[in-house]
A and B are shown apart, each in its own frame.
Chain A
Amino acid sequence: MENLSEKLKNEFKKDIEPIAGQDNLMIIKLNKKSLIKKLSWEIKRYFDLLYCLTVVDYAPVFELNYVFSNYRNNDVLVIKVNIDQKDFNIDSISDIFDSANWEEREAYDLFGIKFDGHPDLRRILLPEDWPGHPMKKSFKVDDEIRNWTGLDMKF
């Protein structure tokens, strides 16, 4: 774990900054979202899986929390990446961590974030034709949603 953080510091220099974490939880902030793929390749040497991907809505900025873990011990690494609402996409890491596949689909489903290079970016929890992305703080239940039936017919 220490080796990894040293290595990341040398590799990325100013683009990452560590945030004081809690016990066994290391949090690193990545300043450039274009570097997420490069960073993931480095992390892949130490961590086995993307444990979970949490998107937090601080509109107009959305914060992505990538939680990595491995099967050998209890280490957890959190990578924070901010993306802007105007430029609402980020590189997919599902070709590096295969377990990211459905987590990214879920983030796309509930927040509308586009993951470039994802092999199968469809909605996963909600129906294909659902209007809007409900986990956004700006999501309002309006008549379109209230009267949504999932069928192409009028009652």
Chain B
Amino acid sequence: MEHKERIRLNIGPVHPAMHGVLKLILDVEEDTIVKAQTELGFLHRSSEKIAESRFFSNYYPIMDKLDYVSALNMEILYASTVEKAANIEIPARAIYMRTIMAEIQRIMSHLIFIGSFGEDIGNITGFIWALRERELLMNVVEKISGGRLAPMYMCNGGMFYDFPEGIDNEILNVLSTIENKVSHEYSAMFTKNQIFISRTKGIGVLTKDMIKKYGITGPIARASGIQRDLRKVSPYLAYDKVEFDVPVADAGDTYSRFIVRTKEILESIKIIRQCLKDIPPGPYKTVVPWVMRIPKKDTFVKQESPRGEMGIFLVTDGSDKPYRLKLRSPTFFALRALEELLVNIRVADAFAIVASMDPVMGEVDR
């Protein structure tokens, strides 16, 4: 038998083709990976420890920087946790406003995924197109909240400000543009593109058993045929009052992970349109004191973030700060599958597979 030389390839933490500061250690024989290890922690900022020294109302900026691609989802998750722990009811208008903001952020996050996925397999045009569409929504978020990447829009009991006047029409205009582009224009760039199909179809197959073994949730699990979306399973916010489908694919390969996320954009557009139609007038927040004390209890809240099921385990002890705040991040579980998934594939495909996981290291390392 011919002896093959084995090379150890360190990719990352700072590498143009790697997502954020993920580090992969690949043992390579010729062009095939024989062993893969992941290394995390390069963006560890100890968000959980910071929570223990801040008032409940002062933790929102940290949640923004957790998953910086979907900051509003993180804010809503934290706000829901604190409100559940403190038994705060938020007004009906605030519920609808939060649903709209969560779905706008989900579209933005998935557009970033489409863009960076295109970039990773050499499709720079896709990257620029996706960011062009994202910019339209960024402007909407900026008009609503004043911020773009880290909006700081949620607060305990609701939102800081109401929607500005006439924003519904602008959102609807932007949504119809995005719907048109995603469902028609992107197919030429991605799903009807022969190069894209041959780079993604049948690559990096995650079976149902692997999903259950590693505890993967979210779009990655749905791409492998697991029909589970917390927006349907345990409806929170206004998700039980709107109609939408949960896109599921069966193959579990890189291509279906792309397709599931693309379809989710169209479903989110549907949700936002229904919410804008049904949004009731009234107050947009329940006024609660800035510093509040929450009695001793454990609260566990989980919500569907664009990357999967994000959860917070909050332990309070009657003081004005959390006693312990644990963040359950979905990509932390998904990245463990890479050690099995990357074996016996080509190095060039490894980048497509990592990109299809859509990791945001801020949320993995916390």
Q: Do A and B come from one complex?
A: yes
- A interface footprint on B103-118 (CB within 8 Å = 1, 0 otherwise): 0000000000000000
Are B315 and A54 within 8 A (Cβ)?
yes
Are B311 and A52 within 8 A (Cβ)?
yes
- B interface footprint on A92-107 (CB within 8 Å = 1, 0 otherwise): 0000011101100000
Are A102 and B46 within 8 A (Cβ)?
no
Are A102 and B313 within 8 A (Cβ)?
no
- Stretch of A3-11, A33-41, A69-77 at the chain-chain interface: A69-77
Contacts of B40 in A (CB 8 A): 124-125
Q: Is B234 an interface residue (CB 8 A)?
A: yes
Contacts of B263 in A (CB 8 A): none
Q: A-B pairs with CB below 8 Å: how many?
A: 75
Q: Is A51 an interface residue (CB 8 A)?
A: yes
Q: Is B212 an interface residue (CB 8 A)?
A: yes
Contacts of A52 in B (CB 8 A): 311, 313, 326, 328
Q: Is A126 an interface residue (CB 8 A)?
A: yes
Contacts of B365 in A (CB 8 A): 125
Chain B's interface: helix, strand, loop or mixed, by majority?
mixed
Are A135 and B300 within 8 A (Cβ)?
no
A71 to B225, CA, bound (A): 12
Are B233 and A74 within 8 A (Cβ)?
yes
A98 to B215, CA, bound (A): 8
Query: CB within 8 A of A99: which of B214, B233, B313?
Result: B214
Q: Is B228 an interface residue (CB 8 A)?
A: yes
Are A127 and B41 within 8 A (Cβ)?
yes
8 Å CB interface, B20-73 against A: 40-41, 44, 46, 48-49
Q: Is A90 an interface residue (CB 8 A)?
A: no
Are B233 and A134 within 8 A (Cβ)?
no
Q: Is B261 an interface residue (CB 8 A)?
A: no
Interface size of B by Cβ–Cβ distance < 8 Å?
Answer: 33
Nearest neighbor of A98 in chain B, beta-carbon distance: B213
Q: Is B298 an interface residue (CB 8 A)?
A: yes
Are A125 and B300 within 8 A (Cβ)?
no
Q: Is B159 an interface residue (CB 8 A)?
A: no
Chain A: minimal CB distance from B156 (Å):
19
8 Å CB interface, A42-69 against B: 48-52, 54-57, 65, 67
Are A54 and B326 within 8 A (Cβ)?
yes
Nearest neighbor of B213 in chain A, beta-carbon distance: A98
A110 to B84, CA, bound (A): 27
Are A126 and B313 within 8 A (Cβ)?
no
8 Å CB interface, A78-135 against B: 78, 97-99, 101-102, 110, 123-127, 134-135
Chain B: minimal CB distance from A44 (Å):
11
Q: Is A147 an interface residue (CB 8 A)?
A: no
Query: CB within 8 A of B313: which of A48, A57, A67, A71?
Result: A67
Chosen A-B contacts, 13 in total, with CB atoms closer than 8 Å, are A25-B300, A48-B212, A51-B215, A51-B328, A54-B313, A57-B324, A76-B300, A78-B300, A98-B213, A125-B366, A126-B41, A127-B41, A135-B49
Q: Top 7 nearest A-B pairs by Cβ distance? A: A99-B215, A49-B215, A52-B328, A54-B326, A125-B41, A74-B234, A54-B313
